[in-house]
C-alpha cells in the first residue's frame, strides 16, 4: 500500500513538472505553435533549430519521466515517445530524419530478438 501511494505521488509530481514546462513554453508571447521556438530562440540567444529541439525534448522527457515513475512497461515508453516525436515532426519542431534514426536504433536494439522470433532455434537462415 505504501509503495503504491509513493508511486502515485511521484507520478503526480512528474505531471506537475510537465505542466510547468508547458506553462513556461506557453508564457512566451507567441500566437501560433510555430512561433514558440522563435520566441524562445530570441529569448535565449540561440538559433531556432536548437530551440525547437530543446522544446521537443523537454516535453518528451517530461512525459517519459512520468511514465518511469508510474513503472510503465518498456513498450509504453516506446509507443508514447514515438507518438510524441511524430507529433513534433508534424508541427514542424523536429525534422523527419529523427524518426528514421530512432527506427534504425530500435532495429539494432531488437534485431536479435526479432531473429530469435523469426528463426527459432538460432538458425539465422544462413546456416
pTM (2 decimals)?
0.61
Nearest-angstrom CA–CA distance, 21 and 24: 5
Is there a contact between 41 and 30 (Cβ–Cβ < 8 Å)?
Answer: no
pLDDT for 108 equals 84
Q: Which residue has the cell 508514447?
A: 80
Each residue's pLDDT tens digit, 43-74 = 878 898 888 888 888 888 888 877 877 787 87
Nearest-angstrom CA–CA distance, 113 and 122: 10
Residue 105 host element (H or E):
helix 97-118
Each residue's pLDDT tens digit, 19-47 = 666 665 555 554 677 778 888 788 878 89
Return mean pLDDT, the chain: 76
Nearest-angstrom CA–CA distance, 63 and 80: 8
Eight-state DSSP code of residue 65: H
| Segments of the chain assigned E as strands | none
Cell numbers describing residue 111: 534485431
Q: Which residue has the cell 525534422?
A: 95
The radius of gyration of the chain from alpha carbons, rounded to an integer in Å, stands at 19
Closest alpha carbon to 84 in 70, 104, 67: 67
Amino acid at each position: 500500500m505504501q509503495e503504491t501511494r509513493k508511486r502515485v505521488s511521484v507520478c503526480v509530481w512528474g505531471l506537475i513538472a510537465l505542466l510547468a514546462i508547458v506553462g513556461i513554453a506557453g508564457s512566451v508571447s507567441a500566437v501560433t505553435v510555430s512561433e514558440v521556438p522563435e520566441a524562445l530562440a530570441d529569448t535565449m540567444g540561440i538559433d531556432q533549430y536548437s530551440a525547437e529541439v530543446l522544446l521537443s525534448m523537454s516535453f518528451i522527457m517530461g512525459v517519459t519521466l512520468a511514465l518511469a515513475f508510474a513503472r510503465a512497461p518498456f513498450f509504453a515508453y516506446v509507443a508514447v515517445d514515438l507518438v510524441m516525436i511524430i507529433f513534433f515532426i508534424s508541427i514542424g519542431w523536429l525534422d523527419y530524419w529523427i524518426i528514421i534514426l530512432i527506427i534504425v536504433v530500435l532495429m539494432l536494439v531488437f534485431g536479435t530478438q526479432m531473429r530469435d522470433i523469426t528463426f527459432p532455434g538460432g538458425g539465422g537462415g544462413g546456416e
